[in-house]
Amino acid sequence: MARILITGSNGGIAYRVSKAAVNKAMQGRATALAPEGIPAVLIDPDWLRADNSRAGANEDPAGVLCIAKSLTPKDTGKFFRFTGEEREF
């Protein structure tokens, strides 16, 4: 999921509200799964290249897969960029 930013004159309120809801739901899931040792995180994939991507998609999904494979319970509730760096909500 993408970070919530205010941009432009209307700030894309519907988009930001939907992202806030997903981010909060995932934080709740992370809290619920933590006692079981199951890591749950949010990953901002940027604009990934895929078979159905429009022109301009520039990121390889391998970064997201690499993060997913390396998660441990101490990562639960964190927010990562596709590069693996932790980011703010």
The confidence band for 25, taking pLDDT boundaries of 50, 70 and 90, is very high
Predicted pLDDT of residue 88: 86
Query: Over 90: is that where the pLDDT of 2 sits?
Result: no
Direct distance between the N- and C-terminal alpha carbons of the chain, in angstroms, rounded to an integer: 10
Question: Which pTM was predicted?
Answer: 0.69
Q: Count Cβ atoms below 10 Å from residue 42 Cβ, excluding itself.
A: 21
Instruction: Determine the Cα–Cα distance for residues 37 and 18; give it in Å rounded to an integer.
Output: 28
- pLDDT tens, residue by residue, 6-23: 555 566 788 888 888 999
φ, ψ for residue 16, nearest 5 deg: -65, -40
What is the secondary structure of 1-32 as a DSSP string? Answer: -------TTTTTHHHHHHHHHHHHHHHHHHHH
The Cβ of residue 59 has, within 10 Å, a number of other Cβ atoms equal to 16
27-77 tens-digit pLDDT = 999 999 999 999 999 988 777 666 666 666 666 777 888 899 999 999 999
